[in-house]
Amino acid sequence: MDGHPIAVATLEPRALRESSPPQRPSDALQEVRGTLLRRRGVVMAVFIAVIAVGLAATLLRPRLFEASAILMMSPREPEGVVTQQDTTFRPPDTGYVDSQVEILRSSAIAASLVDRLHLTRDSEWTIHGADRADVVSTVQRAIIPRRRGQTYVVEVGVRSRSAAKAALMSNTLVELYLASRSQARIESAARTSDWLSGRLTQLSAEVQEREAAVEAFRAQSGLLTAGGVPLTEQQIQEAETSALAAQVDVAERQARWRQAQQVGAAGGETLPSALTSDVMTGLRAKEADVDRRLAEYSGRYGDNHPLVIGARAEKDDVERQIAAEVSRLSAGLHNDADIARAREAALNAHLSSVRAELVRNNTQVVHLNELERQAASTRAVYTSFQQRFNELADGAAGVGGDAQLIAAAVAPNKPISRGLALMLGLVLAAGVLAGVFVALVRDKLSTLINTPQDVERALGLPVLSTIPELERRQFKRLPRAESHPGGFAVSRPRSAFAEAIRLLRTRVARAAAFGVAQTVAIASALPREGKTTTSLCLARVAAMSGKRVVLVDCDLRSGSLHVLLGIAPTRGILEVLRGEIGWRDVVGADDGSGAHIIPAAGDCFTPEDMFGSPAMRSLLAELAQCYDLVILDCPPVLTLAEARDLAALADATVLVARSGRTATHALRVAHAELAAAGANVVGVALNGVDVNAPGVSSYSDPLYFNRAQRGTYTVG
C-alpha cells in the first residue's frame, strides 16, 4: 500500500529473549547460526563453487601407476641380537632405517636416476622445456620410499604415467642405491683400514713404553707387594689392630683400679670383682661368722658380757685384715694399669713410625698408580683397534650397514586409486568451511542492520518488535485490494505477523515516560523501509482490539497510504492544516478494521512549515481527545525535515528499520537527528526478518502459529 515495495518482518525483542530460558548453550553459537541462516545463499554459492572446482581438479588429474621394490636394511651391528658381551635386547634401530629412507628420497639419487634413464629427454618429466634441475625435482617428488611399520623393510615406490616406466624407475633406483652403498662401504673400509694400521703401530709402541715405565718405577722405589697389596699397608693394618687392643686393655685395668680406690678397706658389704681373691673370700666368711656370734651373745648375755667383748675384739681384727687385703689388691691393680699404659705407648710409637713410612711412600704410590692406569688405558685402546682391524681384514662388518633386495618392482596392472571418496570428503569439508567463512566475513563486514543485536549495538535502543517477513503466496486467498501486509494482519489475526504487530502496539503504549503513549510517530531513516505498512498494520490491529484509532498520513512528498487503501482523496491533511476544511470532513473509516484515516491528497508537498505550526499542535490535541491512539505516518527522517517536527510533537516515536536493507550509519544518524529535535524515540521496529533465524522461534511454534503463514512480501 505504500506505492513502493515495502517488506515487513519480525524477531523477538531483547527483553523477551532475556526472560525466556536459553535454548542453546551459547549466545555466540546462536549468533553464528543466525548469520548462516541469513547468508545461506552465500554459503550455498561458495559451497557449490568449491565442490565444482574440487571435483574438476580430482577428475582431471592424470592416471598414475606406482611400482614398488622391497629392500631389507641391515645395520652394521644389528640390534635385537644377543651376544656374549651384551646380553641386553635392543629394539630395531629406527634412526638408521629412517636415514636410509631419506637417502632414497634425496635429490642426489634422483639426479643419478635422471642421468641413468635419460629422463631429461622424456616428455613426461620435461614439461614446458624444463631444465635438468626441474626434472630432478619432479622425479624426486615421484619417488615415494615407505618403511613398513617398525621393521627393517622399506618399499621403494615410484609413480609414473606408464606402468612399465614406474617399474623400471623403481628397479633402477634400487640398483643405484645398492651400488652407492657398496661403493661407499669399499671406500670407507679402505680409508678405515689404512688409518687403523697406522694407529695400531703407534698404540703398540705406546703400550710397550708405558708398561716398561711402570716396572722401572716399581723397581726404583722398592714398592713391594704381597698378594697384590703393598707391604707397608699390611704393616700399618697390623699395628693399628695391636694399638687398638692395647688401648682397650689400659681402659679396663684403669677402671678396675679406680673401683678399688673408691671402695677402700672399709667398703660396703660387697666388694667389686676387681678386689676378690681367695684370702678376701675367707676373711669375708670369717667376718660373717663373727657377726653372727656377736649378735647371738648380745641378745643372750648383754653388751658387757666377756663373750660379747671378745667377739667384738675378734671382729675388729678381721676388719683390719680385710683392709690390709684391699690395700694389697689395689696396689696390684695399679701396677697392672701402669704396665698396660707402657705397652700402649710402645705400640703407638710403632704405629707412628709405620705411618711415617706410609706417608713417605704415598707420593711414589700415587705416581705408580698413574703409570699403571695409563698403561692399562693404552692397552685397552690397542686391543679395541686390533679387534676392529681384524674385522675389517676378514670382511666381517660392513661400514655404514648394508641393504638387500627382497623383491624387484613389477609393472602394476591398475593405476593407483584416485581416492575419490577421500577427495570428495575433503572437498565437501572445504566447501562447507569456505561457505561458512565467507558468510561470517561478509556478515562481519556488512554495514546493514540484520538482527536485533545489530540495532542494540548501533543505537542502544530496544527492539520493540521483530516483524516476520511475508511471502507473496500468503496473499493468494485474499481479495486483490487487501493483498498487502495490512490486509494480511486483518484476515489472519492469529498469525505470527499479527502477533508481532500486537506486541509492537503493547510496547509502544507502555513506552512513554509518563502514562500511556497516545500519540505515536512512525518514522524511518530512508524511504522503502516499511514505515507506512507498519503504520497501517499497527492502526488496524489496535482498532481490532477495541481501541479508537486514527492514522494520519504526514508524508506529503511521496505518501503511499492512499495507494495501500485503494482510495484517491482530493483533500487531506494539508488542507486541514491550512484551515480550508475541518479534519472531520476528510477523515474516513477503514472497512477492514474500523480504524480512522486522515489521508494526504496525492503529492501535496508544500514548502510551508505545516507540521511545526500551531495548527498541527491544535489538531493533535483535538485528535487526542477523540481517539485512544493517534498514529502519525512520518516521512523519512534523512529525506524531509518534517519528520523531526512531527516526532517532537508525539508522545513516542518508533524508528522502523528493514533487516538486510537499512544501513547502520543511516539509522544512527536518524536517531541522532530525532533526539536533537527533542523526540522521545522509544525503540526500533525491525521488519523483514527471517522467521527461521534464532530469536524468533516462538513465532514459528506449530502449537500457536501456522507454518504456512510464513514468507516474504514486498509492497512498493
DSSP 20-32: SPPSSS-HHHHHH
Q: Provide the grid cell at 604.
A: 501535496
Residue 515's Cβ-count burial label (10 Å; 0-12, 13-18, 19+) is: exposed
Mean pLDDT value of segment 692-702: 48
Half-sphere exposure of 306 (CA within 13 A, CB side): 0
Q: Provide the grid cell at 128.
A: 614446458
Which tops the pLDDT comparison, 692 or 322? Answer: 322
Q: Is the pLDDT of residue 701 over 70?
A: no
The sign of the CA dihedral 316, 317, 318, 322 is positive
Architecture of domain 229-394: Orthogonal Bundle (1.10)
Query: Could you give the percent of the chain with pLDDT greater than 90?
Result: 3
Rounded distance between C-alpha atoms, residue 561 and residue 553, angstroms: 7
Q: Are the C-beta atoms of residues 169 and 72 closer than 8 Å to each other?
A: no
Strand pairing class (596-598; 549-553): parallel
Residue with cell string 686391543: 383
Return the pLDDT at 396.
45
Rounded distance between C-alpha atoms, residue 645 and residue 642, angstroms: 5
Mean pLDDT value of segment 348-375: 73
Query: Could you give the percent of the chain with pLDDT greater than 70?
Result: 73
Return the pLDDT at 147.
87
Q: Is the pLDDT of residue 117 over 70?
A: yes
* H or E segment to which residue 657 belongs: strand 652-658
Return the pLDDT at 702.
43
pLDDT band of residue 148 (cuts 50, 70, 90) is confident
Q: Is the pLDDT of residue 338 over 80?
A: no
Most confident range (mean pLDDT) of 213-227, 301-315, 505-519, 662-676 is: 662-676
Which tops the pLDDT comparison, 240 or 713? Answer: 240
Mean pLDDT value of segment 244-267: 68
Q: Provide the grid cell at 213.
A: 715405565
Return the pLDDT at 55.
75
Q: Is the pLDDT of residue 438 over 50?
A: yes
Q: Are the C-beta atoms of residues 655 and 662 closer than 8 Å to each other?
A: no
Mean pLDDT value of segment 369-373: 78
Q: Which of 584, 576, 574, 579 is nearest to 604 (CA)?
A: 574
Q: Is the pLDDT of residue 11 over 80?
A: no
Q: Are the C-beta atoms of residues 92 and 74 closer than 8 Å to each other?
A: no
Q: Is 471 left (phi over 0), alpha (psi -120 to 50) or beta?
A: beta
Return the pLDDT at 627.
92
Return the pLDDT at 90.
52
Mean pLDDT lowest for which of 110-114, 244-248, 350-354, 578-582? 350-354
pLDDT band of residue 88 (cuts 50, 70, 90) is very low
Q: Provide the grid cell at 218.
A: 716399581
Strand residues in 526-644 grouped as ranges (E):
549-553, 588-589, 596-598, 629-633
Instruction: Give helix 27-38 / helix 420-445 axis angle, nearest 10°.
Output: 100
Return the pLDDT at 532.
86
Which tops the pLDDT comparison, 27 or 292? Answer: 292
Mean pLDDT of the chain: 75
pLDDT in tens, 541-581: 888 888 899 999 888 777 677 777 777 787 888 888 888 89
Q: Are the C-beta atoms of residues 104 and 156 closer than 8 Å to each other?
A: yes
Residue-range domain boundaries for the chain: 14-19+449-709, 40-61+418-441, 229-394
Q: Is the pLDDT of residue 512 over 80?
A: no
The CATH number of 14-19+449-709, from 1.10.340.70, 3.40.50.300, 2.20.25.240, 3.40.50.1010, is: 3.40.50.300
pLDDT band of residue 303 (cuts 50, 70, 90) is confident
Most confident range (mean pLDDT) of 72-86, 335-349, 475-489 is: 335-349
Mean pLDDT value of segment 642-662: 87
Q: Is the pLDDT of residue 433 over 50?
A: yes
Which tops the pLDDT comparison, 272 or 97? Answer: 97
Strand pairing class (153-160; 549-553): unpaired
Q: Is the pLDDT of residue 181 over 60?
A: yes
Beta-carbon count within 10 A of 114 CB? 22
Q: Torsion angle of alpha carbons 577, 579, 585, 591, nearest 10°?
A: 0
Non-local (6+) Cβ contacts of 147 within 8 A are: 97, 98, 101, 153, 154, 155
Q: Is the pLDDT of residue 636 over 50?
A: yes
Tell me which amino acid residue 79 is. Answer: E
* H or E segment to which residue 157 belongs: strand 153-160
Return the pLDDT at 82.
40
Q: Which residues pair with 452 in a beta bridge?
A: none
Rounded distance between C-alpha atoms, residue 658 and residue 530, angstroms: 7
Phi, psi of 36 (to 5 degrees): -65, -35
Return the pLDDT at 450.
74
Chain mean position to CA 251: 75
Helix, strand or coil, per DSSP, at residue 553: strand
DSSP secondary structure letters along 303-363: TTSHHHHHHHHHHHHHHHHHHHHHHHHHHHHHHHHHHHHHHHHHHHHHHHHHHHHHHHHHH
Chain mean position to CA 436: 24
Residue 462's Cβ-count burial label (10 Å; 0-12, 13-18, 19+) is: middle
Which tops the pLDDT comparison, 479 or 636? Answer: 636
Q: Is the pLDDT of residue 273 over 60?
A: no
Polymer length of the chain: 716
Which tops the pLDDT comparison, 689 or 653? Answer: 653
Non-local (6+) Cβ contacts of 332 within 8 A are: none
Q: Is the pLDDT of residue 83 over 70?
A: no
Q: Which residues pair with 521 in a beta bridge?
A: 632, 653
Which tops the pLDDT comparison, 209 or 143? Answer: 143
Helix, strand or coil, per DSSP, at residue 264: coil
Q: Where are the alpha helices (DSSP H) in 125-227?
A: 132-142, 163-221
Return the pLDDT at 630.
92
* H or E segment to which residue 524 belongs: strand 519-524
